[in-house]
Structure 1
Amino acid sequence: MNERKRKKYSRRLFEATLEGDSSRVRALLRAGIDPGRPDSEGTTPLYEASVTGRAGVARVLLQAGADPNAESAGLGAEGTPLCAAACWGHTATVRELLAHGADPNLREDGGTGWSPLDWAHEGPHPETVDVLVAAGAVARRGTG
């Protein structure tokens, strides 16, 4: 696939992700789009699905090989998918990420920032906190 076509499909992948269209995401992945390829600003599709609570799309991306622990670098979209989902209390997405190997103790900013549990406490999102604790998350910032 040439670079022009890759960019076009990548843009469509982000559109389908934002719309929560799992079928379209699946079709684009079958066409050869890398599920972990960030957009021009550095935001990954999995981060976008996680921050918007698109659990079905997150599942499709994870099944296609998206790294659940890859940190997004997009402007205003920095961090890990699990932190993004936990921050907004998207518990179904948190469960999906954990089921596909997301580290419940992985801190953002290269390991120096907040953890998913920190974000869930800050929400506050008690159901998300419970899911993270059950997955082995440990409080480190005086929370919980």
Structure 2
Amino acid sequence: MNRRRQKKFSGQLFAAIWRGDTARARALLRAGADPERADGEGTTPLYVASVHGEAAIVRLLLTSGAAPDTESRGIGAEGTPLCAAACWGHTEAVRELLAHGADPNLREDHGTGWSPLDWANNGPHPETAALLTAAGATARLRTT
């Protein structure tokens, strides 16, 4: 697929995620949209779906090849998908990420930031925290 078409599909995929349009996201991925392609700022599709709690789209992106632990680098959208979902208490998105191999102890900021459990506890989102703990997560809040 040529770059221009891939860029177009990528933009449309982000739009579908923002709208929560699972059917459109599925159609774009089937047509060749890259589930890992970040936008111009470095934000990944999986991060956007996770931070908005779009569990069905999270599952779709993961089954289409998105890596569960890829850290997003977009302005205001930095971090891992699991931390993003945990921060807002999106338990179903957290469940999907864990089911597809997301590391429950992977800290943001290249390992120097908060863990998913830190974010869930800070929420506070006890249901999400319990799910993460059951998956082996441990809290490691930063001291700085």
Q: Does TM, normalized by the shorter one, top 0.5?
A: yes
Residues 1:44 and 2:57 aligned together: no
Count the aligned residue pairs.
142
In the alignment, is the contact (CA less than 8 A) between 2:10 and 2:39 conserved in 1?
Answer: yes
Percent identical among aligned pairs is 70
Counterpart of 1:78 in 2: which secondary structure? strand
**For the residues of structure 2 that align with 1:84 and 1:139, how far apart are their CA atoms?**
16
Counterpart of 1:13 in 2: which secondary structure? helix
After TM superposition, the score normalised by the length of structure 2 is 0.96
**For the residues of structure 2 that align with 1:108 and 1:80, how far apart are their CA atoms?**
6
**For the residues of structure 2 that align with 1:135 and 1:51, how far apart are their CA atoms?**
20
Counterpart of 2:78 in 1: which secondary structure? strand
The gaps in structure 2 that reach 5 residues or longer are none
**For the residues of structure 1 that align with 2:129 and 2:49, how far apart are their CA atoms?**
20
Query: C-alpha deviations, 1:23-82, integer Å up to 9, x for none?
Result: 111111111111011001100000000000000000000000100000000000000000
Mapping 1:1-144, distance limit 5 Å:
1-141=1-141
Question: What's the C-alpha RMSD, in Å, of the aligned pairs?
Answer: 0.9
Counterpart of 2:27 in 1: which secondary structure? helix
In the alignment, is the contact (CA less than 8 A) between 2:6 and 2:34 conserved in 1?
Answer: no
The gaps in structure 1 that reach 5 residues or longer are none
Give runs of ≥4 in structure 1 deviating > 3 Å.
Answer: none
Query: C-alpha deviations, 1:90-117, integer Å up to 9, x for none?
Result: 0000000000000000000000000000
Instruction: Give the AA of the match of 1:39.
Output: D
After TM superposition, the score normalised by the length of structure 1 is 0.96
